């Protein structure tokens, strides 16, 4: 399994996307998000997505030259139509608008529709926390997604992730999770490695439990299950409400067959912490809270209690030091993709 440095991952994404017809600026935004996902250990949202993105461009689902439009612009909220540009480009603009409005008003809400795959949602909420804002965000994928409703068999929901963040020195608290039992990209990683997945994540096309990710990608394919196992109605309920906030309210729609694949709806909500209580008081409270949680007695086999986002920060430090491993099959596909678009990978890998 080859290993790559952060600069190599960035260059890999930039070269391939530019060769495929993406502007230098936008390719840099997308490639940086893919690199950062790999660095924090979320390989499901890393450079393995390059194949999906270029394929979506070729099929016309991603429109790299489209210009997003702000269709509603009020002091404390806005709605952006991404025009099916890269999701990372639209989400980055939504993030910046939301932070500026929250700084002026205390809180702000920004929604984006017709927004392709944004990458790792937690990356945006983390950046908000690093700038002193608490945030909540969610993404909905309208139409037949990869997730069955609780008690159902057919795909009706997206993986519908949600992220929440809070400032905390140099280690913000960042919750980043799907409302499905796992992210589809994690199935793809296992599939490319030829590995099985844990029980309770997927069913086949007839509703039978399985651990073989190949059944998800078969034709007809199976489905992901909602988060929660026997209590999956909780994950299903969360996912359904994300469809409302990310989908219906943003204008992305639910169960619309006229929308192209990947037409995500995004909801972002921001709170400027300093406008609610002095930052010194907030910092003291958050530090006291984290210390209180970590002071709990630990169950057998638990070495440490980790707060949301802590494992990603540690993984990033480790991978920045040791490099990022990429599965052999993923690297083969990336080389094949680079050749197909005429991108040089000289100096990247072997």
pLDDT in tens, 262-287: 578 999 999 999 999 999 999 999 99
Best CA proximity match to 187, nearest among 1, 48, 19: 48
If we measure between CA atoms, which residue out of 44, 13, 49 comes closest to residue 28?
A: 13
Q: Is residue 245 part of a domain?
A: yes
Asked if residue 13 is part of any domain, the answer here is no
Q: What predicted TM-score, i.e. pTM, was given to this entire model?
A: 0.93
Q: Predicted confidence band at 123 (pLDDT cuts at 50, 70, 90)? A: very high
pLDDT (0 to 100) of residue 233: 97
Going by pLDDT thresholds of 50, 70 and 90, the confidence category of residue 143 is low
| 175 occurs within a structural domain | yes
Q: So what's the pLDDT on residue 214? A: 94
CATH code: domain of residue 129 = 3.30.1370.60
Nearest partner of 254 among 107, 101, 142, 87, judged by Cα: 142
Residue 7 lies in a domain: no
Please give the biggest Cα pair distance in the chain: 57
Residue 192: band (very low, low, confident or very high) from pLDDT cuts 50, 70, 90: confident
Beta carbons of 184 and 146 less than 8 angstroms apart: yes
Whole-number pLDDT of residue 1: 86
Q: What is the mean pLDDT of the chain?
A: 94
Least confident segment among 101-110, 128-137, 189-198: 189-198
Asked whether residue 301 is domain-assigned, the answer is no
pLDDT tier for residue 167 given thresholds of 50, 70 and 90: very high
With respect to residue 21, please indicate whether it lies within any of the assigned structural domains. Answer: no
Rounded to 5 degrees, what are φ and ψ at 49? -75, -10
CA dist 74 to 94, 255, 328, Å? 13, 29, 49
**Greater model confidence, 251 or 147:** 147
Q: What percent of the chain has pLDDT over 90?
A: 85
Does a structural domain hold residue 349?
no
Q: How confident is the model at residue 189 (pLDDT cuts 50, 70, 90)?
A: confident
Which domain range does residue 123 map to?
A: 62-279
Identify the band that residue 145 occupies on the pLDDT scale cut at 50, 70 and 90.
Answer: confident
Task: Give the β-pairing of 161-166 and 173-178.
Answer: antiparallel
Give CB contacts under 8 A, 24+ apart, made by 49-56: 49/117, 49/119, 49/185, 50/12, 50/13, 50/16, 50/17, 50/334, 50/337, 51/333, 51/334, 51/337, 52/117, 53/17, 53/86, 53/117, 54/16, 54/17, 54/20, 54/337, 54/341, 56/116, 56/261, 56/262
pLDDT in tens, 222-263: 999 999 999 999 999 999 999 999 988 998 867 665 666 557
pLDDT at 141: 76
296 within some domain: no
- 3-state SS of 176-244 is EEECECCCHHHHHHHHHHCCCCCCCCEECCCCCEECCCHHHHCCCCCEECECCHHHHHHHHHHHHHHHH
pLDDT at 130: 97
The total number of structural domains that make up the chain: 1
Among the listed residues 39, 32, 29, the one whose alpha carbon sits nearest the alpha carbon of residue 89? 29
Cross-strand bridge partners of residue 136: 164, 269
Question: Per-residue pLDDT for 144 more than 60?
Answer: no
* Tens-digit pLDDT profile for residues 58-115: 999 899 999 999 999 999 999 999 999 999 999 999 999 999 999 999 999 999 999 8
Q: Say whether the peptide bond before residue 123 is cis (omega within 30 degrees of 0).
A: no
């Amino acid at each position: 399994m080859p290993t790559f440095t952060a600069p190599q991952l960035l260059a890999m994404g930039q070269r391939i996307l530019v060769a495929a017809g993406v502007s230098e600026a936008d390719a840099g935004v997308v490639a940086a998000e893919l690199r950062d996902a790999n660095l924090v250990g979320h390989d499901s949202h890393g450079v393995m997505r390059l194949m999906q993105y270029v394929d979506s461009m070729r099929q016309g689902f991603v429109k790299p030259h489209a210009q997003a439009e702000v269709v509603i612009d009020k002091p404390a909220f806005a709605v952006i139509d991404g025009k099916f540009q890269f999701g990372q480009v639209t989400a980055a603009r939504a993030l910046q608008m939301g932070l500026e409005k929250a700084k002026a008003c205390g809180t702000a809400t920004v929604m984006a529709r017709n927004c392709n795959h944004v990458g790792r949602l937690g990356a945006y909420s983390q950046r908000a926390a690093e700038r002193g804002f608490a945030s909540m965000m969610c993404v909905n994928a309208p139409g037949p997604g990869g997730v069955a409703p609780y008690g159902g068999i057919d795909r009706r929901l997206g993986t519908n992730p949600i992220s929440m963040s809070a400032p905390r020195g140099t280690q913000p608290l960042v919750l980043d999770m799907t409302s499905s039992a796992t992210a589809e990209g994690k199935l793809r990683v296992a599939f490319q490695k030829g590995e099985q997945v844990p029980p309770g994540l997927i069913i086949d096309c007839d509703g039978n439990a399985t651990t073989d990710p190949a059944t998800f990608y078969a034709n007809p394919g199976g489905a992901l299950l909602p988060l929660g196992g026997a209590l999956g109605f909780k994950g299903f309920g969360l996912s359904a409400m994300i469809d409302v906030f990310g989908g219906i309210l943003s204008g992305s729609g639910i169960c619309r067959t006229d929308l192209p694949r990947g037409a995500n709806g995004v909801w972002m909500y921001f709170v400027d912490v300093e406008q609610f209580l002095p930052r010194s008081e907030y910092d003291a409270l958050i530090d006291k809270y984290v210390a209180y949680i970590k002071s709990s007695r630990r169950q057998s086999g638990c070495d440490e209690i980790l707060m949301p986002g802590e494992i990603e920060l540690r993984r990033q430090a480790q991978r920045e030091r040791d490099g990022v491993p990429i599965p052999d099959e993923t690297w083969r596909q990336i080389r094949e993709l680079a050749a197909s678009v005429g991108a040089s990978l000289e100096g990247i890998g072997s």
